[in-house]
Amino acid sequence: MIEAYGWSESWRAAFAAEARPGHIPGRIIVQRREANLVATDLGILTARLSGRLRHAAREAGYPAAGDWLVLAAKAEEATATIHAVLPRRTAFVRRAADSVQTLQVIAANIDVVFVVTSLNADLNPRRLERFLAAAWQSGARPVVVLTKADLSQNPEAEAAEVAAMATGCPVLVVSAREGRGLDALRAHIRPGETCVLIGSSGVGKSTLVNALLGEERMATQEIRAADARGRHTTSSRHLILLPGGGLLLDTPGIREVGLIDAEAGLSAVFEDIEELATTCRFRDCSHTTEPGCAVRAALEAGTLDAERWAHFRKLEQELAESGQAKDRAAQEVQRRRQAGQQRSYRSAKKGLLDPSS
């Protein structure tokens, strides 16, 4: 059974290095807060973290949809205990909603990231750049999917504009309502590979999943007419088997993608700007007042879009601030650890000196 979920010889070797006698492998197919559903050769089991792993997860992070696990199973109860998470090959991450520096894994062990946006009023190049940077950083192959082509008067022209911005990424024009572009989309989903759909609410991710499955499995909602935006229609993360043999991970809509440690992803999205900057007269050019600045020359000539440049600088600043926040967080953790050690030392010393103890 687990072969259908991407189990391979390389995963078997990774499992052998982590498992103990009696353990079995499994993969998270539905991620939930308290208990995950995992696919195993014993069937679909409800799996919870062991006490040790739950304690470690507070700092290291919790298992995510797509993770391969080491399990102790109780087949008669259809339950299992998660004892280890196999090392991830790739991971799509975002900034946790309640934290400046904490990474939250959205999808693990993915091969292709479908960056989905719609050809309606929601099409936003700056938001797409942010998603693409995070997608490249994940280690998977990004593919841009432009949905709702039936709502655009000239989808080919809009796709050409996106392709010029999303260098190195295939750009697909899709209309689930008309069945347009679905074959091209399926061609990117190879048997045994895992794909993930990312994008804002209302861009048609669940509708796309239903079209790929050929059935209405995912709930969908109409977008708001006022601003062409939608609401979240997926409440948990599901790893779904597709008829062609691939797998698709459907995730809740992501309103904001925080970039953490995403320098490589940013470089991939803005490769043109980084190459341009290398031709400045001065190696440490700040692109403000220095003579011979190639970036300012391109801005003045109109060959570099001012909004694109401003967004690049904004994301650069976001990454820098994220790194500073992580450093401050690490220092605070170390300070608290040292304070705790000092309190323990003082308590122990007091106990030794107190005759009544």
- Whole-number pLDDT of residue 208: 85
- Contact yes or no for 210/220 (Cβ under 8 A): yes
Domain boundaries of the chain, sorted by first residue: 2-85, 91-250, 270-304
- Whole-number pLDDT of residue 337: 44
| Per-residue pLDDT at 290 exceeds 80 | yes
In tens, the pLDDT along 129-150 reads 888 888 888 889 999 999 999 9
Comparing 40 with 176, which gets the higher pLDDT? 40
Predicted model pTM: 0.70
In tens, the pLDDT along 207-247 reads 888 888 876 555 444 433 333 344 444 456 788 899 888 99
How far apart are the C-alpha atoms of 85 and 297, rounded to whole Å? 50
The domain defined by 2-85 carries CATH number 3.40.140.10 = no
In tens, the pLDDT along 151-199 reads 888 999 999 999 988 888 999 999 988 889 999 999 999 988 999 888 8
91-250 CATH choice from 3.40.640.10, 3.40.50.300, 3.40.50.410, 1.10.3720.10: 3.40.50.300
Average pLDDT of the chain? 79
Which CATH number does 270-304 carry? Answer: 1.10.40.50
Query: Are β-strands 141-147 and 171-173 bridged in parallel, bridged antiparallel, or unpaired?
Result: parallel
- Whole-number pLDDT of residue 204: 83
Q: Which two tokens stand for residue 115?
A: 């960056």
Q: Which two tokens stand for residue 5?
A: 């979920």
For residue 122, CA distances in Å to 9, 101, 119, 143, 229 come to: 43, 28, 7, 18, 7
Band (pLDDT 50/70/90 cuts) for residue 121 is low
Band (pLDDT 50/70/90 cuts) for residue 328 is very low
Comparing 326 with 118, which gets the higher pLDDT? 118
